[in-house]
Amino acid sequence: MGELDNNMETTADIAEVYEKSVVPTYTPGVALVKGKGTKVWDAEGKVYLDFAAGIAVLNLGHCHPMVTEAITRQAAELVHVSNLYYNEKQARLAAKLSDLAGGGKCFFCNSGAEANEAMIKLARAWGRDHGKFEIISMRNSFHGRTLGAMAATGQEKIRNGFDPIPAGFHYADFNDLESVAALVSATTAAILVEAVQGEGGVIPATREFMQGLRALCDAKGLLLLCDEVQCGMGRTGKWFAFEHSGIKPNAFSLAKSLGNGFPIGAMVASDSCCDVLQPGSHASTFGGTPLACAAALATISGIEMERLLMKSTKSGALLKGKLEAFVERYEHVVGVRGQGLMLGLVLDVPAKEIVDAMFDIGLITIATAQNVIRIVPPLNVDEEEIEEAIDIMEDALAEWHGVDLAEPEEEDEPLAVATE
């Protein structure tokens, strides 16, 4: 194993071993080796402002001292116990999430896709006695890459090539209540929605749509399921993005930022439906370990102590205002959308080239839905960092201003989605 004996100090060293050894589902650019707050360093020592935050994962920024301390302390005490035994940290985290959600019980797992799988199984277990099993999700949604979560994802390009896709999923138009109502049948068990579509292009659901879905579910006896994997945990200025609409789902999923980078996912299900999952019906070896739950508890404490719900609302408004000014100044910038610190700069050209140009100058963002630059910095980003990021965006946009970029193609390039 010669490669493993070599020093892997540069991006080229690391890439050489990576390309030979890692299944090519991703196309990484540089090797990142260190992070602190909103900054991250590559193997060559170049520093970047990280306005992608590991794709909406690092809500407290890189290596937040409270999370690092909690992980370190817990790792020295008890890393893992099976779910055949109680563990205090899991009980505490479940109680805390239930408190934040205004009730309900939690099932813990390790990722967003798994949290959504738990919701899919919840819906099927709940509907079983009445012959209900179908789930209506939205076009343009993203729910993960496992078979069930992929089947729920309303994007053909994600599902293509993996037939047979699990049955029982139908897709309605996002923000179009009538298109959802038209799909409800005697076998419908649940409606699944992101309160802000992330990978689909940072598109918030309207208040009317979310309230209409709640009313539809109540009228037809269906579960309303919210995927909060990307938009949850304070990202939009509230703990959970569905709160902006004043509604409560029957269950919702969390992952990404729940452990500020430590892998953990959760389903929070209301008391009225959670008990349909009984011993033996669902499980995960690593779900809710003391270590993962300690990281999540510290993350929640950090968000509370730094008052990040308020701060992300304020910083989001500041950043949004500055991005809106680009619409006036640059011909390829056509809009800004999003909530809190989950923002999208909408272009009329492919976003990837401009994202790459920003990256070269030292700002990390994400190209999504072909023509949207997704901007999701840590929630504790400061004003100076926002100014710095805006300056970099301005430099990159100025470079492109007047340049005749190709129109976005119909189908997303794999690169635009391979990062999720």
Ligand X SMILES: Cc1ncc(COP(=O)(O)O)c(C=O)c1O
Binding site for ligand X (CB under 6 A): 111-113, 116, 142-144, 194, 198-199, 227, 229-230, 255, 420
Please say which residue, 367 or 397, places its beta carbon nearer to ligand X: 367
Please say which residue, 230 or 289, places its beta carbon nearer to ligand X: 230
Instruction: State the nearest-atom distance from the C-beta of 142 to ligand X, in Å.
Output: 5
Please say which residue, 101 or 158, places its beta carbon nearer to ligand X: 158
Torsional sign, CA 141, 351, 365, 389: negative
Instruction: State the nearest-atom distance from the C-beta of 141 to ligand X, in Å.
Output: 7
Instruction: State the nearest-atom distance from the C-beta of 159 to ligand X, in Å.
Output: 14
Which phi and psi angles does 238 have, rounded to 5°? Answer: -130, 160
Torsion of the alpha carbons at 278, 151, 229 and 55, rounded to the nearest 10: 150
Instruction: State the nearest-atom distance from the C-beta of 294 to ligand X, in Å.
Output: 19
User: What is the Cα Rg of the chain in Å?
Assistant: 21
Instruction: State the nearest-atom distance from the C-beta of 112 to ligand X, in Å.
Output: 2
The one-letter code for the residue type at 88 is: E
CB 140 within 8 A of CB 176: no
Instruction: State the nearest-atom distance from the C-beta of 176 to ligand X, in Å.
Output: 19
Distance CA 55, CA 143 (A): 14
Please say which residue, 346 or 376, places its beta carbon nearer to ligand X: 376
Please say which residue, 168 or 198, places its beta carbon nearer to ligand X: 198
Residue where the block lists tokens 């809009």: 335
Instruction: State the nearest-atom distance from the C-beta of 246 to ligand X, in Å.
Output: 21
85-to-25, 80, 170 alpha-carbon distances in Å: 37, 10, 39
Please say which residue, 148 or 212, places its beta carbon nearer to ligand X: 148
CB 267 within 8 A of CB 109: yes
Residue 30: CB atoms within 10 Å: 17
Instruction: State the nearest-atom distance from the C-beta of 204 to ligand X, in Å.
Output: 13
Please say which residue, 114 or 385, places its beta carbon nearer to ligand X: 114
Please say which residue, 143 or 332, places its beta carbon nearer to ligand X: 143
Instruction: State the nearest-atom distance from the C-beta of 174 to ligand X, in Å.
Output: 12
Please say which residue, 205 or 397, places its beta carbon nearer to ligand X: 205
Beta bridge partner(s), residue 339: 342
Residue nearest to ligand X (CB): 112
Please measure the distance between the N-terminal and C-terminal CA atoms of the chain and give it in whole angstroms. 31
Please say which residue, 200 or 332, places its beta carbon nearer to ligand X: 200
Instruction: State the nearest-atom distance from the C-beta of 93 to ligand X, in Å.
Output: 17
Q: Tell me which residue of 208, 219, 150, 145 sits closest to 174, measured CA to CA.
A: 208
